[in-house]
Amino acid sequence: MRRSYLVVVFMLTVVGMALLIPQPARAFGDAGGFDPRILLTGSQTNAARPSAPGRWSWELVQRTSAPARLRPSQVHASDAAITDGPFLYWSGDASVPALTSAEIAGLRRFFALGGVMLVDDAGVSNEGAPGAFGTSARREIARVLPDSAPITIGADHVVFRTFYLLRRAEGRIAGPKTLEAIVRGGSAQVIFSSHDLGGALARGPTGMWEQPVIPGGDVQRERAIRLAVNVAMYVLCSNYKDDQVHAPFLMRRRALSPHSEP
């Protein structure tokens, strides 16, 4: 009898200790975690810096407790799967052709659900002037969201404080100290970077950084990586509900789905 009692106490103790161990949050998608999904439009086949999204996820995992997809996915703007996740990474170094009606409709569905997009100009000048991609991407986003205009956001915005406390924006080039954003419903849904953030993140299979960072070198690269981590945490944390990442995005998508249950 005494032995049975001790066995029960031991098992209850083990179960209790297991419940006290922090469990990773269940995240959006079957792979879970932050997915810097590459947005493709027109005839695009990849991000301007193809290795950058994977490195972005790797840095996030190493520096925070947040999960992330180490093999980010891709989605075309006209694909129904555009609403399968709450984040899009649109980058380029050349002018963007005019979006088709199907691409505009897809992006409008994505933003209607509360999705967040980072527009990263890889063709920006060394002084931070928008390149052909940045200029044309702004033009096309204006067609998608004609009722909204970008505003300047700086160090006092939550994007600069979600994980690291940052004084300014930086990427492969120092560029302007601020970012631009289209804020809707209190959230920055489109964030424009004139810094080539992907250029600072891009790292080849040999482990070598692919692009020099100017003018600040390794110190500037570190701050650029921190900005990328902050953007990821902004996407994750701004969608928390009941400890489930992206729950509001999921619920809005479900409500708009023609196959949702009554």
Is a pLDDT exceeding 80 seen at residue 19?
no
In this prediction, residue 198 carries a pLDDT of 98
* CB proximity list for 128: less than 8 A, separation 6 or greater: 173, 174, 175, 176, 194, 195
* CB proximity list for 81: less than 8 A, separation 6 or greater: 75
Q: Which amino acid, one-letter code, is at 123?
A: G
Is a pLDDT exceeding 90 seen at residue 5?
no
In this prediction, residue 231 carries a pLDDT of 98
Q: What angle separates helix 247-256 from helix 101-112, to the nearest 10 degrees? A: 130
Phi first, then psi: what are they for 86, rounded to 5°? -90, 5
Strands 151-153 and 179-184, sheet pairing: antiparallel
Q: pLDDT tens digit string along 170-192?
A: 999 999 999 999 999 999 999 99
Q: Which of 233, 241, 253, 225 is nearest to 67 (CA)?
A: 233
SS3 of 87, please?
Answer: strand
Work out the percent of the chain whose per-residue pLDDT is above 70.
78
Residue 72 and residue 57 in contact, taking contact as beta carbons nearer than 8 Å: yes
Q: Look over the chain and give the mean of its residue pLDDT values, rounded to a whole number.
A: 84
Is a pLDDT exceeding 90 seen at residue 262?
no
Count the neighbouring beta carbons within 10 Å of the beta carbon of residue 151.
13
pLDDT band at 32 (very low <50, low <70, confident <90, very high): low
Higher pLDDT: 259 or 126? It is 126
Residue 58 and residue 52 in contact, taking contact as beta carbons nearer than 8 Å: no
- Which residue stretches of the chain are H helix? 2-20, 52-63, 101-112, 132-144, 197-201, 217-237, 247-256
Higher pLDDT: 151 or 252? It is 151
Q: Which of 166, 154, 39, 156 is nearest to 90 (CA)?
A: 39
User: Cis before residue 215, ω within 30 degrees of 0?
Assistant: yes
CA angle 259, 87, 62 (to 5 degrees): 125
Distance CA 170, CA 167 (A): 10
Q: pLDDT tens digit string along 102-117?
A: 999 999 999 999 999 9
Distance CA 83, CA 183 (A): 19
Candidate from 12-16, 59-63, 219-223 with smallest mean pLDDT: 12-16
Q: pLDDT tens digit string along 57-75?
A: 999 999 998 999 999 999 9
> Mind listing the domains of the chain with CATH numbers?
30-255 (3.40.50.12140)
